[in-house]
Amino acid sequence: MSKVFALVDCNNFYASCEKLFRPDLANTPVVVLSNNDGCVVARSKEAKALGIKMGVPYFQVRELVEKHGVVAFSSNYALYADISARVMTTLEQLAPSVEVYSIDEAFLDLTGISSCTELNEFAKQVKTTILNWTGIHVCVGIAPSKTLAKLANHAAKKWSKTGGVVDLTDRDRQRKLMALLPVSEVWGIGGRITKRLNEMGIHTALQLADTPAKQIRKQFSVVVERTVQELNGESCLSLIEVESKKKEIVSSRSFSERILDQKQMIEAVSEYTHRVCEKLRAQQCKAKQLTVFIRTSPFSDHQTDPYYANSASGQLVYPSSDTRDFLHLTAELLSKIWKDGYRYAKSGVMLTDFYDENILQQQLFADESGSECNPALMAVIDQINQQHKRNAIFFAAKGTQQNWSMKRSLLSPSYTTKWSDLPKI
Protein backbone atom coordinates (compact mmCIF):
# COMPACT_ATOMS: atom_id res chain seq x y z
CA MET A 1 0.00 0.00 0.00
CA SER A 2 1.40 3.43 -0.99
CA LYS A 3 2.20 5.81 1.84
CA VAL A 4 0.19 9.01 2.23
CA PHE A 5 1.20 11.88 4.52
CA ALA A 6 -0.43 15.14 5.47
CA LEU A 7 1.25 18.21 6.95
CA VAL A 8 -1.02 20.34 9.12
CA ASP A 9 0.38 23.83 9.76
CA CYS A 10 -1.21 26.55 11.89
CA ASN A 11 -1.54 29.90 10.13
CA ASN A 12 0.51 32.76 11.63
CA PHE A 13 0.43 30.78 14.87
CA TYR A 14 1.78 33.21 17.49
CA ALA A 15 -0.28 36.08 16.08
CA SER A 16 -3.36 33.84 15.85
CA CYS A 17 -2.99 32.88 19.52
CA GLU A 18 -2.88 36.56 20.48
CA LYS A 19 -6.06 37.25 18.49
CA LEU A 20 -7.88 34.23 19.90
CA PHE A 21 -9.05 36.01 23.07
CA ARG A 22 -9.16 39.46 21.46
CA PRO A 23 -12.07 39.47 18.96
CA ASP A 24 -11.63 43.25 18.70
CA LEU A 25 -8.36 42.54 16.83
CA ALA A 26 -9.97 40.24 14.23
CA ASN A 27 -8.99 42.46 11.27
CA THR A 28 -6.18 44.39 12.96
CA PRO A 29 -2.53 43.90 11.98
CA VAL A 30 -0.69 42.13 14.82
CA VAL A 31 3.00 41.38 15.37
CA VAL A 32 4.71 39.30 18.05
CA LEU A 33 8.18 40.27 19.25
CA SER A 34 11.19 38.19 20.24
CA ASN A 35 12.88 38.07 23.65
CA ASN A 36 13.36 41.54 25.14
CA ASP A 37 10.87 42.86 22.55
CA GLY A 38 13.70 43.05 20.03
CA CYS A 39 12.56 41.74 16.63
CA VAL A 40 9.37 40.74 14.86
CA VAL A 41 9.03 36.93 15.01
CA ALA A 42 5.39 36.54 13.94
CA ARG A 43 2.94 38.54 11.85
CA SER A 44 -0.76 38.34 11.12
CA LYS A 45 -1.82 38.39 7.47
CA GLU A 46 -2.74 42.08 7.86
CA ALA A 47 0.77 42.89 9.15
CA LYS A 48 2.32 40.96 6.26
CA ALA A 49 0.23 43.02 3.82
CA LEU A 50 1.78 46.18 5.26
CA GLY A 51 5.23 44.88 4.26
CA ILE A 52 6.52 44.15 7.77
CA LYS A 53 9.29 41.58 7.35
CA MET A 54 10.08 38.62 9.57
CA GLY A 55 13.04 39.25 11.86
CA VAL A 56 13.10 43.03 11.39
CA PRO A 57 14.10 44.96 14.55
CA TYR A 58 10.98 46.44 16.12
CA PHE A 59 12.42 49.97 16.36
CA GLN A 60 12.88 50.01 12.58
CA VAL A 61 9.14 49.54 11.94
CA ARG A 62 7.82 51.53 14.90
CA GLU A 63 6.75 54.42 12.62
CA LEU A 64 4.86 51.98 10.35
CA VAL A 65 3.30 50.36 13.41
CA GLU A 66 2.02 53.68 14.73
CA LYS A 67 0.79 54.86 11.33
CA HIS A 68 -1.33 51.78 10.64
CA GLY A 69 -2.41 50.94 14.18
CA VAL A 70 -0.45 47.71 14.35
CA VAL A 71 -0.78 46.00 17.75
CA ALA A 72 2.46 44.49 19.11
CA PHE A 73 2.77 41.75 21.74
CA SER A 74 5.69 40.32 23.68
CA SER A 75 6.14 36.56 23.20
CA ASN A 76 3.74 34.71 25.51
CA TYR A 77 5.30 31.25 25.46
CA ALA A 78 2.92 29.76 28.04
CA LEU A 79 -0.09 30.71 25.91
CA TYR A 80 1.42 29.41 22.66
CA ALA A 81 2.49 26.10 24.21
CA ASP A 82 -0.97 25.50 25.67
CA ILE A 83 -2.83 26.29 22.44
CA SER A 84 -0.35 24.11 20.54
CA ALA A 85 -1.06 21.22 22.90
CA ARG A 86 -4.79 21.61 22.23
CA VAL A 87 -4.24 21.55 18.46
CA MET A 88 -2.01 18.46 18.63
CA THR A 89 -4.43 16.65 20.96
CA THR A 90 -7.21 17.34 18.47
CA LEU A 91 -5.13 15.92 15.62
CA GLU A 92 -4.42 12.77 17.62
CA GLN A 93 -8.17 12.20 17.87
CA LEU A 94 -8.62 12.61 14.12
CA ALA A 95 -5.67 10.71 12.61
CA PRO A 96 -4.27 7.23 13.32
CA SER A 97 -0.63 8.44 13.65
CA VAL A 98 0.73 11.92 14.41
CA GLU A 99 4.26 13.33 14.50
CA VAL A 100 4.48 16.69 16.25
CA TYR A 101 7.12 18.40 14.12
CA SER A 102 7.14 21.83 15.77
CA ILE A 103 4.95 24.01 17.97
CA ASP A 104 2.65 24.76 15.01
CA GLU A 105 3.19 21.83 12.61
CA ALA A 106 2.40 18.12 12.63
CA PHE A 107 2.69 15.29 10.10
CA LEU A 108 -0.16 12.78 9.86
CA ASP A 109 0.06 9.27 8.38
CA LEU A 110 -3.05 8.92 6.23
CA THR A 111 -2.09 5.62 4.60
CA GLY A 112 -5.29 3.65 3.95
CA ILE A 113 -7.62 6.53 4.85
CA SER A 114 -8.71 6.88 1.20
CA SER A 115 -10.38 3.46 1.36
CA CYS A 116 -13.04 4.85 3.69
CA THR A 117 -13.08 8.59 2.95
CA GLU A 118 -11.88 10.94 0.23
CA LEU A 119 -8.57 12.58 1.20
CA ASN A 120 -9.66 16.10 0.33
CA GLU A 121 -12.80 15.75 2.43
CA PHE A 122 -10.81 14.36 5.35
CA ALA A 123 -8.45 17.36 5.18
CA LYS A 124 -11.42 19.75 5.21
CA GLN A 125 -12.80 17.92 8.25
CA VAL A 126 -9.44 18.38 9.99
CA LYS A 127 -9.48 22.12 9.23
CA THR A 128 -13.05 22.57 10.44
CA THR A 129 -12.61 20.52 13.61
CA ILE A 130 -9.44 22.34 14.69
CA LEU A 131 -11.09 25.71 14.05
CA ASN A 132 -14.21 24.75 16.00
CA TRP A 133 -12.35 23.16 18.92
CA THR A 134 -9.38 25.54 19.28
CA GLY A 135 -10.15 28.65 17.21
CA ILE A 136 -6.96 28.22 15.15
CA HIS A 137 -6.94 28.23 11.34
CA VAL A 138 -4.73 25.61 9.68
CA CYS A 139 -3.69 24.58 6.16
CA VAL A 140 -3.29 20.96 5.06
CA GLY A 141 -0.95 19.53 2.42
CA ILE A 142 -1.33 15.89 1.33
CA ALA A 143 1.25 13.85 -0.62
CA PRO A 144 2.97 10.44 -0.85
CA SER A 145 6.12 11.75 0.92
CA LYS A 146 6.80 14.21 3.75
CA THR A 147 8.84 16.51 1.47
CA LEU A 148 6.00 16.72 -1.05
CA ALA A 149 3.51 17.24 1.81
CA LYS A 150 5.59 20.27 2.84
CA LEU A 151 5.33 21.67 -0.70
CA ALA A 152 1.60 20.94 -0.77
CA ASN A 153 1.14 22.82 2.50
CA HIS A 154 3.16 25.75 1.13
CA ALA A 155 0.79 25.89 -1.87
CA ALA A 156 -2.25 25.69 0.42
CA LYS A 157 -1.00 28.76 2.27
CA LYS A 158 0.19 30.69 -0.77
CA TRP A 159 -2.93 30.40 -2.93
CA SER A 160 -6.21 31.20 -1.17
CA LYS A 161 -8.28 29.60 -3.94
CA THR A 162 -7.14 26.19 -2.67
CA GLY A 163 -9.28 26.70 0.42
CA GLY A 164 -6.33 25.79 2.58
CA VAL A 165 -6.11 22.21 1.29
CA VAL A 166 -3.85 20.83 -1.46
CA ASP A 167 -3.77 17.16 -2.44
CA LEU A 168 -0.58 16.16 -4.30
CA THR A 169 -1.17 12.43 -4.54
CA ASP A 170 -1.47 12.82 -8.31
CA ARG A 171 1.92 12.85 -10.10
CA ASP A 172 0.86 15.42 -12.72
CA ARG A 173 -0.20 17.85 -9.98
CA GLN A 174 3.12 17.28 -8.20
CA ARG A 175 5.11 18.20 -11.29
CA LYS A 176 2.94 21.20 -12.08
CA LEU A 177 3.44 22.63 -8.59
CA MET A 178 7.18 21.87 -8.48
CA ALA A 179 7.64 23.74 -11.76
CA LEU A 180 6.21 26.86 -10.10
CA LEU A 181 8.33 26.76 -6.93
CA PRO A 182 11.98 27.81 -6.58
CA VAL A 183 14.31 25.08 -5.32
CA SER A 184 14.82 27.09 -2.13
CA GLU A 185 11.24 26.20 -1.09
CA VAL A 186 12.10 22.50 -0.89
CA TRP A 187 12.27 21.21 2.69
CA GLY A 188 15.90 20.77 3.74
CA ILE A 189 17.41 22.83 0.91
CA GLY A 190 19.09 25.76 2.64
CA GLY A 191 20.74 28.87 1.25
CA ARG A 192 24.18 27.33 0.69
CA ILE A 193 22.80 24.28 -1.16
CA THR A 194 20.44 26.51 -3.16
CA LYS A 195 23.40 28.58 -4.38
CA ARG A 196 25.27 25.47 -5.51
CA LEU A 197 22.19 24.05 -7.22
CA ASN A 198 21.62 27.34 -9.05
CA GLU A 199 25.21 27.20 -10.28
CA MET A 200 24.39 23.74 -11.68
CA GLY A 201 21.40 25.21 -13.53
CA ILE A 202 18.83 23.85 -11.07
CA HIS A 203 16.44 26.66 -10.16
CA THR A 204 13.07 24.99 -9.58
CA ALA A 205 11.89 22.09 -7.43
CA LEU A 206 10.99 20.21 -10.62
CA GLN A 207 14.50 20.57 -12.02
CA LEU A 208 15.86 19.10 -8.78
CA ALA A 209 13.37 16.23 -8.95
CA ASP A 210 14.43 15.46 -12.54
CA THR A 211 18.15 15.38 -11.69
CA PRO A 212 19.48 11.81 -11.26
CA ALA A 213 19.65 11.01 -7.53
CA LYS A 214 23.12 9.43 -7.83
CA GLN A 215 24.47 12.62 -9.42
CA ILE A 216 23.07 14.66 -6.54
CA ARG A 217 24.65 12.29 -4.03
CA LYS A 218 28.08 12.74 -5.62
CA GLN A 219 27.74 16.53 -5.50
CA PHE A 220 26.12 16.80 -2.06
CA SER A 221 25.17 14.01 0.35
CA VAL A 222 22.83 11.10 0.94
CA VAL A 223 20.43 13.55 2.68
CA VAL A 224 19.95 15.61 -0.49
CA GLU A 225 19.71 12.38 -2.51
CA ARG A 226 16.81 11.32 -0.32
CA THR A 227 15.19 14.71 -0.89
CA VAL A 228 15.27 14.04 -4.65
CA GLN A 229 13.69 10.62 -4.08
CA GLU A 230 11.02 12.20 -1.89
CA LEU A 231 10.26 14.78 -4.59
CA ASN A 232 9.62 11.85 -6.92
CA GLY A 233 7.02 10.39 -4.58
CA GLU A 234 9.29 7.83 -2.90
CA SER A 235 8.82 7.94 0.87
CA CYS A 236 12.24 7.92 2.59
CA LEU A 237 11.27 9.69 5.82
CA SER A 238 8.97 7.78 8.13
CA LEU A 239 6.70 9.25 10.77
CA ILE A 240 8.42 9.78 14.14
CA GLU A 241 5.71 9.30 16.76
CA VAL A 242 8.02 9.14 19.79
CA GLU A 243 10.35 12.09 20.25
CA SER A 244 13.98 11.02 20.62
CA LYS A 245 15.82 12.09 23.74
CA LYS A 246 18.05 15.13 23.43
CA LYS A 247 21.80 14.72 23.83
CA GLU A 248 22.21 18.22 25.20
CA ILE A 249 19.92 20.74 26.86
CA VAL A 250 20.60 24.49 26.74
CA SER A 251 18.94 27.44 28.44
CA SER A 252 20.13 30.97 27.71
CA ARG A 253 18.69 34.48 27.48
CA SER A 254 19.72 38.00 26.69
CA PHE A 255 19.17 40.37 29.59
CA SER A 256 16.71 43.26 29.58
CA GLU A 257 19.52 45.43 30.94
CA ARG A 258 23.26 44.86 31.29
CA ILE A 259 24.51 42.95 34.34
CA LEU A 260 27.54 44.33 36.20
CA ASP A 261 27.07 42.56 39.53
CA GLN A 262 28.22 38.97 40.09
CA LYS A 263 25.35 38.26 42.50
CA GLN A 264 22.80 39.07 39.78
CA MET A 265 24.67 36.84 37.33
CA ILE A 266 24.57 33.96 39.82
CA GLU A 267 20.79 34.43 40.04
CA ALA A 268 20.49 34.36 36.24
CA VAL A 269 22.55 31.21 35.64
CA SER A 270 20.82 29.55 38.61
CA GLU A 271 17.46 30.22 36.92
CA TYR A 272 18.74 28.63 33.70
CA THR A 273 20.09 25.66 35.67
CA HIS A 274 16.63 25.20 37.19
CA ARG A 275 15.11 25.11 33.69
CA VAL A 276 17.57 22.62 32.14
CA CYS A 277 17.21 20.26 35.10
CA GLU A 278 13.42 20.31 34.70
CA LYS A 279 13.82 19.34 31.05
CA LEU A 280 16.38 16.69 31.95
CA ARG A 281 13.96 15.01 34.35
CA ALA A 282 11.13 15.30 31.83
CA GLN A 283 13.02 13.05 29.42
CA GLN A 284 13.91 10.66 32.28
CA CYS A 285 17.65 11.21 32.15
CA LYS A 286 20.54 12.15 34.39
CA ALA A 287 23.63 14.14 33.40
CA LYS A 288 27.21 14.59 34.55
CA GLN A 289 28.57 17.62 32.69
CA LEU A 290 27.50 21.25 32.95
CA THR A 291 28.80 24.25 30.97
CA VAL A 292 28.27 27.88 31.98
CA PHE A 293 28.85 30.71 29.50
CA ILE A 294 28.67 34.51 29.73
CA ARG A 295 29.32 37.32 27.25
CA THR A 296 28.99 41.03 26.71
CA SER A 297 27.30 42.44 23.61
CA PRO A 298 29.22 41.89 20.36
CA PHE A 299 27.38 44.88 18.87
CA SER A 300 28.51 47.52 21.37
CA ASP A 301 31.26 50.06 20.81
CA HIS A 302 34.16 48.02 22.12
CA GLN A 303 36.23 51.09 22.89
CA THR A 304 33.75 52.23 25.54
CA ASP A 305 32.15 48.85 26.22
CA PRO A 306 34.90 46.19 25.85
CA TYR A 307 33.98 42.72 24.66
CA TYR A 308 34.42 39.65 26.83
CA ALA A 309 33.11 36.11 26.45
CA ASN A 310 34.05 32.95 28.28
CA SER A 311 32.76 29.54 29.33
CA ALA A 312 33.69 26.83 31.79
CA SER A 313 32.67 23.17 32.09
CA GLY A 314 32.66 20.81 35.03
CA GLN A 315 31.51 17.33 35.95
CA LEU A 316 29.72 15.66 38.80
CA VAL A 317 31.19 12.44 40.15
CA TYR A 318 27.87 10.68 39.66
CA PRO A 319 25.17 11.47 37.08
CA SER A 320 22.29 13.41 38.64
CA SER A 321 19.00 15.07 37.80
CA ASP A 322 18.75 16.91 41.10
CA THR A 323 18.77 20.68 40.58
CA ARG A 324 20.71 21.21 43.81
CA ASP A 325 23.70 19.19 42.59
CA PHE A 326 23.98 21.38 39.50
CA LEU A 327 23.39 24.65 41.35
CA HIS A 328 26.54 23.99 43.38
CA LEU A 329 28.48 23.33 40.18
CA THR A 330 27.00 26.38 38.44
CA ALA A 331 28.24 28.77 41.14
CA GLU A 332 31.68 27.17 41.11
CA LEU A 333 32.03 27.45 37.32
CA LEU A 334 30.77 31.03 37.18
CA SER A 335 33.38 32.13 39.73
CA LYS A 336 36.10 30.83 37.39
CA ILE A 337 35.06 32.95 34.39
CA TRP A 338 33.58 36.05 36.03
CA LYS A 339 35.48 39.33 35.51
CA ASP A 340 34.49 42.62 37.12
CA GLY A 341 34.17 45.77 35.02
CA TYR A 342 32.23 44.30 32.09
CA ARG A 343 28.63 44.91 31.05
CA TYR A 344 27.25 41.43 30.46
CA ALA A 345 24.46 41.02 27.90
CA LYS A 346 23.81 37.27 27.89
CA SER A 347 24.50 34.07 29.80
CA GLY A 348 23.42 30.46 29.70
CA VAL A 349 24.03 26.89 30.80
CA MET A 350 24.23 23.58 28.92
CA LEU A 351 23.87 20.02 30.18
CA THR A 352 25.66 17.16 28.38
CA ASP A 353 26.86 13.59 29.01
CA PHE A 354 23.44 12.03 29.59
CA TYR A 355 22.56 8.70 31.21
CA ASP A 356 19.29 6.82 31.48
CA GLU A 357 17.88 7.44 34.94
CA ASN A 358 17.51 3.70 35.58
CA ILE A 359 21.02 2.71 34.47
CA LEU A 360 24.10 3.68 36.47
CA GLN A 361 27.64 2.39 36.27
CA GLN A 362 28.97 2.56 39.82
CA GLN A 363 32.55 3.72 40.47
CA LEU A 364 34.60 1.48 42.75
CA PHE A 365 36.27 4.13 44.94
CA ALA A 366 33.90 7.11 44.49
CA ASP A 367 31.98 8.46 47.46
CA GLU A 368 28.34 9.17 46.64
CA SER A 369 27.77 11.08 49.85
CA GLY A 370 28.58 14.38 48.12
CA SER A 371 25.45 14.06 45.98
CA GLU A 372 22.12 15.46 47.15
CA CYS A 373 20.20 13.54 44.51
CA ASN A 374 16.64 13.00 45.70
CA PRO A 375 14.37 11.92 42.81
CA ALA A 376 11.25 11.87 45.00
CA LEU A 377 11.75 15.49 46.09
CA MET A 378 12.41 16.64 42.51
CA ALA A 379 9.29 14.80 41.31
CA VAL A 380 7.12 16.59 43.88
CA ILE A 381 8.58 19.99 42.95
CA ASP A 382 8.01 19.34 39.23
CA GLN A 383 4.44 18.19 39.87
CA ILE A 384 3.59 21.29 41.88
CA ASN A 385 5.18 23.60 39.29
CA GLN A 386 3.30 21.88 36.47
CA GLN A 387 -0.01 22.30 38.26
CA HIS A 388 0.61 25.90 39.28
CA LYS A 389 3.00 26.84 36.47
CA ARG A 390 6.54 28.07 36.84
CA ASN A 391 7.98 29.41 40.09
CA ALA A 392 5.41 27.97 42.50
CA ILE A 393 8.45 26.35 44.17
CA PHE A 394 11.97 27.47 43.34
CA PHE A 395 15.47 27.53 44.78
CA ALA A 396 16.61 30.69 46.54
CA ALA A 397 19.78 30.80 44.42
CA LYS A 398 17.86 32.36 41.53
CA GLY A 399 16.60 35.28 43.63
CA THR A 400 13.20 36.87 43.99
CA GLN A 401 13.48 40.19 42.12
CA GLN A 402 15.16 39.11 38.87
CA ASN A 403 15.62 42.63 37.51
CA TRP A 404 17.87 41.05 34.88
CA SER A 405 15.04 38.97 33.36
CA MET A 406 14.08 39.61 29.77
CA LYS A 407 11.91 42.59 28.92
CA ARG A 408 8.30 41.73 28.03
CA SER A 409 6.47 45.01 28.47
CA LEU A 410 3.78 44.09 25.89
CA LEU A 411 2.91 40.68 27.35
CA SER A 412 -0.68 39.52 27.00
CA PRO A 413 -2.50 37.65 29.81
CA SER A 414 -2.02 33.88 30.21
CA TYR A 415 -5.64 33.27 29.30
CA THR A 416 -5.50 29.46 29.50
CA THR A 417 -2.91 28.79 32.22
CA LYS A 418 -3.68 31.28 35.02
CA TRP A 419 -6.93 31.52 36.95
CA SER A 420 -6.29 35.22 37.54
CA ASP A 421 -5.98 35.83 33.77
CA LEU A 422 -9.24 34.19 32.72
CA PRO A 423 -11.20 36.55 30.45
CA LYS A 424 -13.99 38.32 32.30
CA ILE A 425 -17.29 38.93 30.53
Number of domains in the chain: 1
Contact 278, 322 (CB under 8 A): no
Instruction: Evaluate whether residue 326 is within a structural domain.
Output: yes
Q: How confident is the model at residue 65 (pLDDT cuts 50, 70, 90)?
A: very high
Residue 319 lies in a domain: yes
pLDDT score recorded for residue 371: 54
pLDDT in tens, 296-344: 988 888 888 899 999 999 999 889 999 999 999 999 999 999 999 999 9
Q: What is the pLDDT of residues 197-236, one digit of tens each?
A: 999 999 999 999 999 988 888 888 888 999 999 999 999 8
pLDDT in tens, 249-272: 999 888 878 899 999 999 999 999
Q: Does some domain include residue 304?
A: yes
What is the pTM for the complete model shown?
Answer: 0.78
Would 327 be classed as within a structural domain?
yes
Provide the residue range defining the domain that includes 312.
249-398
Q: Does residue 324 belong to any structural domain of this protein?
A: yes
The answer to the question of residue 119 being in a domain is no
Average pLDDT, the chain: 89
Q: What is the pLDDT of residue 1?
A: 63
CATH number of the domain encompassing residue 367 = 3.30.1490.100
Whether 377 maps to a domain, the answer reads yes
Mean pLDDT of 382-405: 74
Is residue 110 situated within a structural domain? no
pLDDT at 243: 63
